Structure 1
Amino acid sequence: MILNFINGQYRQGRGGRSFSDMNPVDGSLIAQVSEATREDVDDAVNAARDALAGPWGALKLSQRCDLLYAVAAEIDRRAEDFVAAEVADTGKPRSLASHLDIPRGAANFRVFADAVRNVATETFTSHAPDGEPTLNYALRRPKGVVAVICPWNLPLLLMTWKVGPALACGNTVVVKPSEETPATAALLGEVMNSVGIPKGVYNVVHGFGPESAGEFLTTHPGVDAITFTGETRTGAAIIRASAAGIKPVSMELGGKNPAVVFDDADLDATIAGLTRSVFENSGQVCLGTERVYVQRRIFDAVVQRLASAAARLRPGRPEDPATTLGPLISAEHQRKVLDYFALAKAEGATAVCGGGVPDVSHELKAGAWVEPTVWTGVAHESRVAREEIFGPCCAVIPFETEAEALRMANDTPYGLAASVYTSDVARAHRFAGALRVGVVWVNSWFVRDLRTPFGGSGASGIGREGGVHSLEFYTELSNVCIKFNGEAQ
């Protein structure tokens, strides 16, 4: 049984209800998960408020940051436990979890402990109307209790991306992980206890969205701020819920991210980058590429080479070193993606590769598998070119001129990320600056410096996190103005 973690203790929900955590690799049961009631969420928020006013709030900045470094070290020490939990929940290849998800989960605590120690606030000297000198400086104060609502695609990484800076800034948190991936958020409670994080600082409640833990948490009057990563529709519901309490929100939402390939690009590097951005984590990455615009002269070559790379991906059990493609997160998500595959065919697309369910071994037949898929013949205006699918698929669409590529890349309600492939430095700067997205990679993908701003525009979200931008969201700034009266003696 995976339990809620409230005030430093694991406990079942008061209602006695549970739900199943299923393995997407083969459809087997991993564990039952205890569902939190409204009263359990009350307890978690109250514990967080008590810790804020008590032992956590009383710590010096250096003590708090040292504890977060200890959390990171303990995640590293228990990396195998976290990898096993993450792989069981998501079905992703073990190599991906061990090289990306879990190390980044630990790094998020170190990076933001360092940031809050070293990023200064503004200081100004000036004069009052009577001519006396003044000094203005800003203080950072924690927002309070932060509700952290997490997605299922990179569970530990994206949860600690929020919990790390929230705790570094002196807040306390109540985490609601996805019902699809509850294990690593719960396991982190053991780490918090083992390194001496005070009770109530880190809490976890399990459940769903409407009329469950998600709604109970985001509408709770004791919550001071909400941070969410997930689909746009859910984000809109959370924003509506936050309005009643005038609560600040940070929203990292969906995307329909473009990659633009010019005919002077290094094709080897381009195909390597596209193979990752389209198919990594079975396309279940908010930053992933679903629209690939290729200049006409090299269109056929890119299509052929990308399709060949997709065909070489091998589905299988996550612990098999030969596995390079995992399943989707659930049977429900598999049905959604397969519906888009059928829609693409109905809209006139040609599946150069994929387009269905892969031939997997008998024991994996009940898993949530889909084939990596590359389409041509997709109209830019079609649904499969405009709606987020969140699977291992992309539409490859030709263009003639830079202006045409820019128009199509920006023609979307989303604005999260983009990639540009070109050997022309001037064009790279010019084109990247004209894209209406939060993150642009040139000749690369998913290269992250955690000090940089991260987030989207339009339907892709509100706000930025990362580096000082996380500190701005997770703290309130207070200005202190001191007037120096009298003359020096």
Structure 2
Amino acid sequence: MSDVLGARTAPVLEVAARAAARAERRMLIDGELRAAADGAEFDNIAPATGQVLGGTAAATAADMDRAIGAARRAFDDTDWPRNRALRARCLEQLQTALEGEKTELGEELIAEAGCPAMTLTNAQVDWPLAEALRYPLRLIDEFAWERVLPGGGLFGERNVRTVVQEPVGVVAAICPSNFPVEVVLNKIGPALAAGNTVVLKPDPNTPWNATRLGRLIAERTDFPPGVLNVVTTPSNEVAGLLATDPRVDLISFTGSTAVGKHLVRTAADTMKRTFLELGGKSALIVLDDADPMAAIRSAIGVCVHAGQACAATSRMLVPRHLVDEITAQVAAAYGAVPPADPALPDTLVGPLISAAQQRRVLDAVERGVRDGARLVTGGGIPDDIAPHLRDGFFVRPAVFACADNTLPIARDEIFGPVLVIIPHDGDDDAVRLANDSDYGLAGAVLSSSPERGMAVARRVRTGAIGVNGGMFYGADAPFGGVKQSGLGRQCGLEGFQQYLETKTIGTRSPRPR
């Protein structure tokens, strides 16, 4: 397959060229870097330009079968589940290896995910490298792996009961394209630290960050063969084997609610455990005593990385008497952050991940207008973008004024730079509107009174929420949703325990002579 990059005349093209030259295109299966069984590859498309970066191994069903089998053997036939010292050493080696290629990893994300360079210093690279592996590493030593129940229960003092925490088994980690490194590391870190083996299936739109991880494991660590496998494929049929194969014990999935529901149904036949971190339509609640400028700054958050964040607060609930003023100010702010080259340091709005996602966002905007919501600004394909970006998947950040919370534009996750502003009539009404959603992933509250903001936050049905800019994110902080935003939690102690099974052992001591 030949690579098509065009002239190196713009920052993202230069970054893409370097990323393509350094990319790992093979999978990691059973400790070996390998091409697909039939030699096939699929194209990795740069979302900023629409051009082919290069190819990646396209796994066959036989490749997936081999990866699952390798993970099963590594769990059943090696001491990985019980050897905590080995697990700690391997994760420390991986941490060091990733830090050594931090610059290359960041450029790879700009090229294949289209993320703005400014996001590398937070959730794309710096935050997960700082703690996604280090936190579960600490838990290897600090976690209470066993506890002894006091007394002997119904059978007297000679009966001792020990509660043991053990790894689940083979974990299928299925990851999205929006924050691929962050999600991958926050899945495999606790899964591996807990003693599980893993088959990692990255999003086909962003495969190279995962194949890089596979290369580092193969070349720079002591991970036993099969403990972590990286399988890249654009085929839903091949990926679906992770949900149906009885050798897989747990599915850890981050992505859309529709796919999450499908995985639950499919996994039910083999009684797999499922962790699902799904979609959101989170509310930014502005109370009547909030700083209007803080509200506008918070509203801009939906523009970051073109709104491709499940926790984005894409519904802004504003006091009715302030809604016209704030809507005008937010629209002006959105107009001041046009889509641009993601490799430039001051770009906030990069491309959407694919042409299909661009079309979905444009269709949602068009439907919002048809349904009667007022499009205040944005929503179309930019016609004044730099020439080298004209085939990229960009959409102008859009602001809707919408008095009806029942419209699809106010209820459906769009996963793009689209904000809906809805009026509320006081704290109780704001809470009612925030909770009037099928989703419950994240949210935010703004108030000059921390106590008032906290009181409102406690009433919102959501898995995480920030008050006055408070950050809930961290490898030690559980994250996940309620309602159709998912099942279970990623990160934190709760996320670590998700990869563990509980066993109770009763032992009877000899009768004293």
Amino acid at match of 2:368: A
What corresponds to 1:291 in structure 2?
Answer: 315
Are the equivalent residues in 1 in contact too, given 2:339–2:395 (CA < 8 A)? no
Select the residue among 55, 63, 75 that pairs with 1:52.
Answer: 75
Q: TM-score, normalised by structure 2?
A: 0.90
What corresponds to 1:317 in structure 2?
Answer: 341
The root-mean-square deviation of aligned C-alpha atoms, in Å, is 2.0
Q: Within 5 A, what are the aligned runs for 1:69-468?
A: 69-106=92-129, 107-121=131-145, 122-129=147-154, 131-132=156-157, 134-193=159-218, 194-208=220-234, 210-212=236-238, 214-276=239-301, 278-358=302-382, 359-444=384-469, 446-468=471-493
| Alpha-carbon shift at residue 164 of structure 1 (Å) | 0.6
Identity of aligned residues (%): 33
Select the residue among 1, 5, 10 that pairs with 2:33.
Answer: 10
Amino acid at match of 1:70: Q
Question: Which piece of structure 1 moves more, 374-383 or 80-89?
Answer: 374-383
Relative to structure 1, the CA distance from residue 469 to residue 463 in structure 2 (aligned partners, 3 Å threshold; closer, same or farther) is same
Gaps of 5+ in 2: 1-23
Q: Within 5 A, what are the aligned runs for 1:462-477?
A: 462-477=487-502
Are the equivalent residues in 1 in contact too, given 2:278–2:486 (CA < 8 A)? yes
Give deviations 1:323-350, integer Å, cap 9, x for gaps. 2210000111001100111112112222
Are the equivalent residues in 2 in contact too, given 1:125–1:134 (CA < 8 A)? no
Tell me the distance in 2 between the aligned counterparts of 1:226 and 1:320.
37
SS in 2 for 1:181: coil
SS in 2 for 1:57: coil
| Alpha-carbon shift at residue 50 of structure 1 (Å) | 2.2
| Alpha-carbon shift at residue 452 of structure 1 (Å) | 2.3
| Alpha-carbon shift at residue 255 of structure 1 (Å) | 1.1
Amino acid at match of 2:265: R
Relative to structure 1, the CA distance from residue 397 to residue 45 in structure 2 (aligned partners, 3 Å threshold; closer, same or farther) is same
Pair 1:27-2:63 in alignment: no
Relative to structure 1, the CA distance from residue 264 to residue 12 in structure 2 (aligned partners, 3 Å threshold; closer, same or farther) is same
SS in 2 for 1:368: coil
Question: Which piece of structure 1 moves more, 447-456 or 129-138?
Answer: 129-138
Give deviations 1:361-385, integer Å, cap 9, x for gaps. 1221100000111111342111101
Are the equivalent residues in 2 in contact too, given 1:102–1:156 (CA < 8 A)? yes
SS in 2 for 1:464: coil
Question: Which piece of structure 1 moves more, 422-431 or 360-369?
Answer: 422-431
Q: TM-score, normalised by structure 1?
A: 0.94
What corresponds to 2:89 in structure 1?
Answer: 66
Amino acid at match of 1:206: T
Amino acid at match of 1:197: F
Amino acid at match of 2:349: L
Tell me the distance in 1 between the aligned counterparts of 2:471 and 2:25.
32
Tell me the distance in 1 between the aligned counterparts of 2:144 and 2:352.
43
| Alpha-carbon shift at residue 456 of structure 1 (Å) | 0.8
| Alpha-carbon shift at residue 132 of structure 1 (Å) | 2.1
Are the equivalent residues in 2 in contact too, given 1:115–1:467 (CA < 8 A)? no
Relative to structure 1, the CA distance from residue 410 to residue 28 in structure 2 (aligned partners, 3 Å threshold; closer, same or farther) is same
SS in 1 for 2:125: helix
Tell me the distance in 1 between the aligned counterparts of 2:79 and 2:336.
51
Amino acid at match of 1:273: S
| Alpha-carbon shift at residue 209 of structure 1 (Å) | 5.1
Tell me the distance in 2 between the aligned counterparts of 1:259 and 1:103.
26
| Alpha-carbon shift at residue 283 of structure 1 (Å) | 0.4
Give deviations 1:71-99, integer Å, cap 9, x for gaps. 11211111011112111111111221243
Amino acid at match of 1:408: L
| Alpha-carbon shift at residue 17 of structure 1 (Å) | 2.8
Are the equivalent residues in 1 in contact too, given 2:42–2:234 (CA < 8 A)? no
Tell me the distance in 1 between the aligned counterparts of 2:347 and 2:165.
47
| Alpha-carbon shift at residue 56 of structure 1 (Å) | 5.2
Tell me the distance in 2 between the aligned counterparts of 1:417 and 1:209.
31
